[in-house]
Amino acid sequence: MMEAEIRILVIEDDDEIAGRIAAGLTQAGFTVERADNGFDGYAMGADDDFDAAVLDLGLPEMEGLDVLRRWRREGHALPVLVLSARGTWSEKVDGLNAGADDYISKPFHVPEVAARLKALIRRTSGHATPVLIHGRVTLDTAAGRVTLDDKPVELTARELRMLNYFMHRIGRIVSQTDLVEHLYTLDDSRESNTIEVYISRLRRKLGPDVIKTVRGLGYRMD
Ligand code: CA
């Protein structure tokens, strides 16, 4: 992510534990979103750009390990810290085999969860592809730098966010609703015509064909 905000997805069905984790992580400076069942958690992790997830194993709708396996099978590299009630050796092995990046047993102290997440994000950010290249456009996601034909292009924070969103979804249709939900906080005006304004600015800076309009559906970068 190019902004300082670090977004954590907490998937935990126990309201008390989830609340405690969310409060502690928020205090540690993270932005937290919660899911209280495996299915919602899976969908949020697959759709949105979180920096890491805290994943409970015993979950309604879809077991934690199934959530993790499905993400990995679909190519989502989201770093995952698994929470386990029992903390047995075999469970830990199962978690790691399913693609967990780290593992913590209940009961735990929330500051430890925050510390593990920080380490995890630091460790995995080297493995993720920080530089995205698409045609003539290069986006260094860590530095927030963009080039077109190797020449630097100045983008505003929101333009960068929009470009980053598209570059993670090459070939896929992105609707106006997706963009509004991803690019605006609750305080901003959420009018979709401003999306068109940002799209046209990106086209002006990066070439008219950088993002195509898919009539009636949204936009696509391909
Ligand atoms: Ca549980």
Distance CA 83, CA 92 (A): 10
* Residue 123 Cα distances to 52, 116, 119, 126, 152, angstroms: 11, 10, 6, 6, 28
**Residue 65 pLDDT:** 92
**How far is the C-alpha of 54 from the C-alpha of 56, rounded, in Å?**
7
205 Cα: distance to centroid of ligand 1 (angstroms): 48
Which residues, chain by chain, have CB under 5 Å from ion ligand 1? 13, 56, 58
Task: Compute the distance from residue 52 Cα to the ligand 1 centre, in Å.
Answer: 19
For residue 137, the CA-to-ligand 1 centroid distance in Å is: 44
Residuewise pLDDT in 10s, the chain (222 residues):
444 588 999 999 999 999 999 999 999 999 999 999 999 999 999 986 899 999 999 999 999 999 999 988 877 788 999 988 766 667 777 777 777 888 888 888 999 999 999 888 877 765 555 677 888 898 887 778 899 998 999 998 888 888 988 988 888 899 988 888 777 654 455 555 688 888 999 999 999 999 999 999 999 998
Q: CA 52, CA 115: separation in Å to the nearest integer?
A: 13
Taking alpha carbons only, the member of 58, 75, 78 closest to residue 8 is 78
pLDDT of residue 134: 84
The pLDDT assigned to 94 comes to 77
Q: Are strands 151-153 and 80-84 parallel, antiparallel or unpaired?
A: unpaired
Sheet holding 7-11, edge to edge: 31-35, 7-11, 52-56, 80-84, 102-105
CATH class of the region 131-220: mainly alpha
> Residue 189 is which amino acid?
S
Alpha carbons 141 and 202: distance in angstroms, whole number: 16
pLDDT at 9: 97
Ligand 1 centroid to residue 117 C-alpha, Å: 19
Residues 6+ apart with CB under 8 A from 115: none
For the chain, domain boundaries: 7-124, 131-220
The rounded Å distance from CA 159 to ligand 1 centre is: 39
Centroid of ligand 1 to alpha carbon of 85 (angstroms) = 8
Distance in Å, CA 57 to ligand 1 centroid: 6
Tell me how far the alpha carbon of residue 48 lies from the centroid of ligand 1, in angstroms. Answer: 22
How far does residue 160's CA lie from ligand 1's centre (Å)?
Answer: 37
- Residue 36's φ and ψ, nearest 5 degrees, are -110, 10
Fold entry, domain 7-124: Rossmann fold (3.40.50)
Return the structure tokens found at 143: 């530095």
**What is the distance between the alpha carbons of residues 102 and 80, in angstroms, rounded to a whole number?**
7
- Asked if 179 and 170 count as a contact pair (C-beta separation under 8 A), the reply is no
* Residue 130: per-residue pLDDT: 64
Q: What are phi and psi of 32, to 5 degrees?
A: -120, 135
Q: Find the 144 Cα to ligand 1 centroid distance in Å.
A: 38
